[in-house]
Amino acid sequence: MSTVIWLRQDLRLADNPALGQALAGSGAVIPVYLHAPREEGPWALGGAAQWWLHHSLAALQTDLRARGSDLLLRATADSGAELLDIARSAGATRVLWNRRYEPSAIARDAAIKTRLRQQGLEAESYNGSLLREPWELKTKTGGPYQVFTPFWRQCLSLSDPAEPLAAPHRLPAPQRWPRSASLKELGLLPSVDWAQGLRETWEPGEAAALTRLRTFLRHGLQAYPTARDRPDLPGTSCLSPYLHFGEISPRQIWNEVRLHVLAAGGGRGPDQAWREHRFVTEIGWREFGYHLLYHFPETPQQPLRPAYARFPWSSPAFHLRAWQHGRTGYPIVDAGMRQLWSSGWMHNRVRMIVASFLVKHLLIDWIHGARWFWDTLVDADLASNTKGWQWTAGCGADAAPYFRIFNPISQGRKFDADGTYVRRWVPELARLSNDWIHEPWAAPDNELRQAGVRLGHEYPEPIVTHAAARNAALAALATLKN
């Protein structure tokens, strides 16, 4: 009973429920990846994520070949037809996959499951991406959660997720492989090479994901509750792209954290303490994002709070371009946007700062920020991206109030006190003292001369003033109340 396993955002061999079910049969297993960007609706992969996907598929293909198998690749506009063709060519009777939760994927997968079954094939899907399915957690009234704390409290009240599945040592291969495209033919890499910063920063793949997790647990977990807000420190796990592409599962992270904390021992009730760790809570925020996306599928394009559809957004193209290119005149904002462009990633605290600046200082619709992040982040994830931008704009679930407007100067001084982060990503300001690194326009003339900074030349003047922008944002908010 040969089985086709359709891989998508689960590019790993360990803890892969669909693969585990495929191996439970007695026949060959045919791992397949179909590149079908048109089926992703308005959210086909951006450039940075395509770069990651290329290298993740290459790593998976290497891992499969080491186990006597291979990865069958095809580019298509009709995944259902391709799966039928592959199953018939290989004499397979089953097609299995792990579920996705984006609106376009849910509709597509349901149609494919029906189509395959009508052709006499067994077609089943599994949970390989979340600790809990989005429909498993409900409020007391039976509806979806819109506030994180009770959502996560209920999640923690349930029994622990099942133990992660071990990676197989061998995969039974078919006698004859169906035709496959080469990885290059999928066209995922940019035609003009802009990815040097990504190559210098990341190593995609399942092995790299597990190494990064275990390194973080040894050297970063203890300090994480405070270090996670410091962009000048390596205080976060940087696992988000690995999670998005499924090179590691949340069950694996849950289990590794538990084992690490219990092995360390000490402290009160270590079995409970690890569940309460701030890092585990961040896994909960990812779960919450998928809960919201599943129950409110319109939110990638529309605000969850309908009143915000009437918000009087501005649309100055110059301001948007200045923000995108890290030329706003606010060093912490510009540092974040340049880090994003160079590495395909941005520290989470800085994501909040730059997002707040776009929607509340520049009054530019959050959807423009979500689109830019989507194209430039290696960890671009529809659930997390949507939740984060709507949280910042005040129009989503459990959102920050719109009147909470981050001051980029005080945020920089608080979380990058020595200016280390700004000096790395905005090197034209590197010689400014700590007193002025986050507010160069207020620096004395002699300080600017000694630092080699001419505002409006080496570094721009602020494109808006904080006080005026704050007043304009509050005035715009008042129009909704009226």
CATH number assigned to the domain with residue range 3-126, chosen from the 4 options 3.20.20.330, 3.40.50.620, 3.40.50.300, 3.10.20.30: 3.40.50.620
Active site residue 313: yes
Active site residue 152: no
Nearest to 237 by CA among 275, 200, 276, 278: 278
Phi-psi region of 342 (alpha: psi -120 to 50; beta: other; left: phi over 0): alpha
Return the structure tokens found at 327.
Answer: 């030329």
User: What's the rounded Cα separation, in Å, for the pair 370 and 359?
Assistant: 11
The one catalytic residue among 274, 366, 372, 374: 366
Active site residue 282: yes
Q: From first to last of the 482 residues of the chain, give the pLDDT tens digit.
A: 899 999 999 999 999 999 999 999 889 999 999 999 999 999 999 999 999 999 999 999 999 999 999 999 999 999 999 999 999 999 999 999 999 999 999 999 999 999 999 999 999 999 999 999 999 999 999 999 999 999 999 999 998 899 999 999 999 999 999 999 999 999 999 989 999 999 999 999 999 999 999 999 999 999 999 999 999 999 999 999 999 999 999 999 999 999 998 888 744 454 566 777 899 999 999 999 999 999 999 999 999 999 999 999 998 899 999 999 999 999 999 999 999 999 999 999 999 999 999 999 999 999 999 999 999 999 999 999 999 999 999 999 987 777 789 999 999 999 999 999 999 999 999 999 999 999 999 999 999 999 999 999 999 999 999 999 999 999 998 998 76
Q: What is the pLDDT of residue 316?
A: 83
Rounded to 10 degrees, the C-alpha dihedral 350/352/355/361 comes to: -90
Q: Residue 181, Cα to own-chain centre: how many angstroms?
A: 28
Q: What is the pLDDT of residue 482?
A: 65
- Give the CA count within 13 Å in the CB-facing half-sphere of 310: 8
User: What's the rounded Cα separation, in Å, for the pair 315 and 54?
Assistant: 35
| 429, 440 contact by CB (below 8 A) | yes
| 217, 260 contact by CB (below 8 A) | yes
Q: What is the pLDDT of residue 267?
A: 46
User: What's the rounded Cα separation, in Å, for the pair 80 and 87?
Assistant: 11
The one catalytic residue among 82, 206, 256, 282: 282
Angle ∠(444,445,449) on CA atoms, nearest 5: 120
* Homologous superfamily of domain range 306-481: DNA Cyclobutane Dipyrimidine Photolyase, subunit A, domain 3 (1.10.579.10)
Active site residue 97: no
Number of neighbouring beta carbons within 10 Å of residue 142? 6
Q: What is the pLDDT of residue 273?
A: 66
User: What's the rounded Cα separation, in Å, for the pair 263 and 317?
Assistant: 54
| Domain map (residue ranges) of the chain | 3-126, 130-162+205-295, 306-481
Angle ∠(128,133,134) on CA atoms, nearest 5: 130
- Fold (topology level) of 130-162+205-295: 1.25.40
The one catalytic residue among 122, 255, 285, 447: 285
Strand partners, 31: 5
The one catalytic residue among 348, 441, 447, 458: 348
Number of neighbouring beta carbons within 10 Å of residue 460? 17
Q: What is the pLDDT of residue 272?
A: 63
Q: At what angle do helices 331-343 and 317-324 cross, to 10 degrees?
A: 70
> Which pTM does this prediction carry?
0.96
The one catalytic residue among 97, 389, 425, 436: 389
Q: What is the largest CA-CA distance in the chain?
A: 80
